[in-house]
Structure 1
Amino acid sequence: MSATPTVAVFRPDDDRLERAQELLSELGAEPVPDPMLSVEATDATPRTDADYVVFTSKTGAELVSNAGWEPSGETVCAIGPATADALRAEGYTVDLVPEEFTSSGLVAALKSRVDGARVEVARSDHGSPVLLEGLEDAGAYVHETILYRLVRPDGSGESAVLAAEGGLDAACFTSSLTVEHFLEAATEGGIREDALEGLADAVVGVIGEPTAETAASLGIDVDVVPDEATFDALARETMAATAAREP
């Protein structure tokens, strides 16, 4: 491992990527920014007849504001503090944030409340089925509105090349889709197996068990899954694991 570890980060190319790079630099890393997600808005808004409206991302909060959504008495739920802060920044009141910032955490927070209720889930086209199935099992009438589609940006894959060359010390995957898009980029470049070997020698950190399961199913060993589903926790714990490795 080099004195300054190289750490791949796959956040969308906006302020999230900028903040992620700043944090990794503060923690002593050389960030390798390689956005694996690009947002295509649908301009949809949540249905107006719901008792609960659930948001699962900062992006969704901003897009419903841009599309002119106005709540009318619904209980507004955010999957975590970043989503809640984004909703508040757009002028919305947030009524519920679960203790665990995941789909299963949202289900746990809502299951005793939603029997017979109408629940609107407003999110991307790649949302986890855990949320919909869990709410339905709790007796809710669930409807999903797709606010945006997540696609792989043109030109992505620098981190896959670096991994294939043995030059990547760590990687911070923030969703199953970032894992899938990383390997898509590697496959298109004809370096999938080499990139997987490079990741095997690196510290791989992921947010959430679903992302860990996706990585494992695709042949990637996961070293770090922070208890708190935030990029801050992911970056800090991945860097700690990287520093703990033998030089």
Structure 2
Amino acid sequence: MSRDVRIAVFRPDDERLAEAVELLESLGAEPVADPMLEVRPTGNAPAEGDYVVLTSKTGVELAAEAGWKSGEATVCAIGESTADALREAGYAVDVVPAEYSSTGLVEALEGEVAGERVEVARSDHGSPVLTEGLADAGADVNETVLYQLVRPEESGKSAELAAEGRLEAALFTSSLTVAHFLAAAEERGVREAAVDGLNDAVVGAIGEPTRETAESEGVAVDVVPEVADFEKLACAVVEEAAPTYHG
């Protein structure tokens, strides 16, 4: 495969974006790095709870920087990357749901949190599925915002490429990346053309909530990996976009 399969990736401009670019290049694709999320820490630490839920690697790193002590709490992580970050920071991990999602964690905890204080520490764009589901299970839920996720001012070059029909694939890693891509396209006056361009390309979504968000905005999703993992998403999208490539 020649390097003419352009794949947009929207991860924050830190090691996640660098690793994504390296992975796509190793797969023979041409990455278009267009960060759609910028992390703005609040300086908050998770509050005390019988259970404490962390939902992202970023959240773990910020909790550690804020001096959070897990104490006797049952520590819960959504996803192996979050669990790994907790362990690397010196925290024990007690619960990782089989399904790496808010729904998966609610299902894992719903039989044991009635009457318990559950602290959910995450971004300002966390899904209500988690907090509402735990509350419905009888938990006393508190939510602490560890960081805000905003759209970088310079974002949007991938939207212009999509509008020009020059993007072969896109990798959406959260509902917010979808919303920010479309906002950037709107800002540049190319939203309709960008959506058309995506619908002529291969669109990957990291999980069902991201797929639902994209499709509700008229973006057809072609690939959703069985496990919400960026590497699996990238490999599947590259294979879909260039099926003749065999290494």
Superposed, 1:46-195 pairs within 5 Å as 46-48=46-48, 50-195=49-194
The answer to whether the 8 Å contact 2:117/2:141 transfers is yes
In structure 1, C-alpha distance between the alignment counterparts of 2:102 and 2:241, rounded to whole Å: 28
Q: Give the paired residue count.
A: 244
The letter of the residue matching 2:53 is V
Alpha-carbon shift at residue 244 of structure 1 (Å): 3.7
Q: Which runs of 4+ in 1 moved over 6 A?
A: none
What are the Cα deviations for residues 119-140 of structure 1, in whole angstroms up to 9, with x where unaligned?
1100000011111111112111
Counterpart for residue 214 of structure 2: 215
Superposed CA deviations along residues 30-66 of structure 1, whole A, max 9, x for unmatched, are 1110000001111111112x11000000000000111
Q: TM-score, normalised by structure 1?
A: 0.95
Alignment partners' CA distance in 2, 1:229 and 1:47: 27
CA distance in 1, matches of 2:137, 2:238: 39
Q: Name the SS of the counterpart of 2:149 in structure 1.
A: strand
Deviation at 1:70, TM superposition (A): 1.1
The separation in 2 between residues aligned to 1:32 and 1:219, in whole angstroms, is 22
Q: Could you tell me how far 1:243 is from its partner in structure 2?
A: 2.1
- How many angstroms apart in 2 are the aligned matches of 1:156 and 1:202? 20
Contact 2:195 2:218 in 1 (8 A): yes
In the alignment, what sits opposite 2:28?
A: 28
Instruction: For 2:183 and 2:207, locate their aligned partners in 1 and report how far apart those are by CA, in whole Å.
Output: 21
Per the alignment, do residues 180 and 2 of structure 1 end up closer, same or farther by CA in structure 2, a change over 3 Å counting? farther
- SS of 2:53's equivalent in the other structure is strand
- TM-score with structure 2 setting the length: 0.95
Structure-2 residue corresponding to 1:240: 239
C-alpha deviation, 1:2, in angstroms: 6.9
Paired residue secondary structure (1:156):
coil
Letter aligned with residue 100 of structure 1: E
Q: Partner of 1:44 in structure 2?
A: 44
Distance 2:237 2:147 in 1: 29
Give the letter for the 2:13 counterpart: D
* Counterpart AA for 1:107: V
Q: What is the rounded CA distance, in whole Å, between the counterparts of 1:97 and 1:241 in structure 2? A: 30
Alignment partners' CA distance in 1, 2:131 and 2:208: 17
Query: Kindly, what percent of the aligned residue pairs are identical?
Result: 64
- CA displacement at 1:3 relative to structure 2: 5.6
Q: Is the 8 A contact 2:9 2:32 kept in 1?
A: yes
In 2, distance between residues paired with 1:197 and 1:2? Answer: 24
Question: How much is the aligned-residue C-alpha RMSD, in angstroms?
Answer: 1.4
| SS class of match (2:91) | coil
Question: Matches of 2:83 and 2:150 in 1, distance apart?
Answer: 24
Distance in structure 1 (CA, Å) of the matches to 2:87 and 2:123: 20
C-alpha distance in structure 1 between counterparts of 2:184 and 2:18, whole Å: 22
Equivalent position amino acid for 2:140 in 1: Y
Q: Any stretches of 5+ residues in structure 2 without a counterpart?
A: none
